[in-house]
Amino acid sequence: MNDGKKRDKKVFQLTRRKALKSLAAGAAVLALPSRDAAASVWDAFFQKHFRRMTRSDLEKVLARLEREYSQEYAQEVKVGVTPPIEGVKYGYGLDLSRCIGCRRCVYGCVEENNQSRDPQIHWIRVVRLKKEKGTDLHYAEHYYNPSQVPEPGHFYMPIQCQQCEKPPCTKVCPVQATWTEKDGIVVVDYNWCIGCRYCMAACPYGARHFNWAKPRIPNDSLNPQTHYLGNRPRPVGVVEKCTYCIQRTRQQPGRYPACLEACPVGARKFGNLLDPESEIRKLIENKRVYILKEELNTQPKFFYFF
């Protein structure tokens, strides 16, 4: 049995949640990995919070993860920690009058970000709305399946993490496993998350997703270029979400998010809110902008326009 599998068996039965529970019950010893468990199990268990790790801590963790993923998926997997770019705050724009609801973005995202194919996880949900009802979400339907889109009398609104300036999800996390990075991206440390799902309850956009089972990704569809806080394969029992493709957009020069590249009608726009020449600023300055659930004061950095 390789390290990765061992970890599944041992650590994932022994989640932090369970360990904490048994610690509280004074029976920690019973729940701890047995003596024959691989060293990496212990390393993973005692790993520090992402933001408390020093460079050398981080390097060890990344090396361990790369080794495990590479073994599990039978190919060389890279795990990066590319930091934010100074002077950048990412913003996303989506043209409601162009989106045809074809869901190309959904599947582009699944492939880029190594989402579980089975059980299925989609970070982007496209809802269909009735033109006569406007953006009233009571009429939102995301299981629509006509033979062709767009359909008369309807328009479509893809919803994903809005990377709120005031995110309710990060506030409620009891272990600070999720936070906002300097470039405005809300991230999760999957090794620190205890899977309590408070953040899911707090997110008004349904943008967080829980791994009820170990995510299944066929070896040949794994995207091996990953980021620690983004698209690396997730363990069972943690929450995950859209990170504006942190592994692509933090490159220098920065690539566009995968959903933007997948969209056949060019409805998706992306750029730096602090750069007056970027398309996201032009859009806010020249278009009619709509913000989802604005009344909640979450201050999304995702702008719908038309």
Interaction residues for other proteins, span 34-53 (CB under 8 A)? 49, 51-53
User: Would you state the structure tokens that stand for residue 101, as one six-digit string?
Assistant: 């609801």
| Shortest separation between residue 171's beta carbon and ligand SF4, angstroms | 9
Residue 122 CA to residue 102 CA, distance in Å, equals 14
Interaction residues for ligand SF4, span 33-72 (CB under 6 A)? none
- Which amino acid is located at 141 in the chain? E
Residue 12 CA to residue 239 CA, distance in Å, equals 14
Q: Residue 88 interacts with ligand SF4 (CB under 6 A)?
A: no
Per-residue string for binding with ligand SF4, 221-260, x by CB under 6 A?
------------------x---------------------
User: Would you state the structure tokens that stand for residue 201, as one six-digit string?
Assistant: 């309850």
Strand partners, 240: 209
Q: Could you say which of ligand SF4, other proteins, none residue 155 binds, taking C-beta under 5 to 8 angstroms by partner kind?
A: none
Distances (CA, A) of 76 to 53, 68, 191, 216, 255: 24, 10, 21, 18, 22
Residue 139 CA to residue 128 CA, distance in Å, equals 8
Interaction residues for other proteins, span 95-124 (CB under 8 A)? 95, 100-104, 106-107, 119-120, 122
Determine contact, residues 11/45, Cβ cutoff 8 Å: yes
Q: Residue 143 interacts with other proteins (CB under 8 A)?
A: yes
Q: Residue 249 interacts with other proteins (CB under 8 A)?
A: yes
Determine contact, residues 200/165, Cβ cutoff 8 Å: no
Among 50, 90, 179, 198, binds ligand SF4 (CB under 6 A): 198
Residue 176 CA to residue 12 CA, distance in Å, equals 20
Among 27, 28, 74, 265, binds ligand SF4 (CB under 6 A): 265
Q: Residue 194 interacts with ligand SF4 (CB under 6 A)?
A: yes
Q: Residue 55 interacts with other proteins (CB under 8 A)?
A: yes
What element of type H or E holds 44?
A: helix 39-45
Among 11, 88, 263, 273, binds ligand SF4 (CB under 6 A): 263
Between 88 and 191, name the residue whose CB sits nearer to ligand SF4: 191
User: Cβ atoms within 10 A of the Cβ of 252, count?
Assistant: 6
Q: Residue 86 interacts with other proteins (CB under 8 A)?
A: yes
Determine contact, residues 174/216, Cβ cutoff 8 Å: no
Q: Residue 179 interacts with other proteins (CB under 8 A)?
A: yes
Stretch that binds ligand SF4, among 100-108, 138-146, 221-229, 271-279 (CB under 6 A): 100-108
Among 25, 75, 83, 221, binds other proteins (CB under 8 A): 83
| Half-sphere CA count of 114, side-chain side, radius 13 A | 26
Residues in contact with ligand SF4 by the rule CB under 6 A: 99-105, 126, 156, 158, 172-173, 175, 177-178, 188, 193-199, 239, 262-263, 265, 267-268
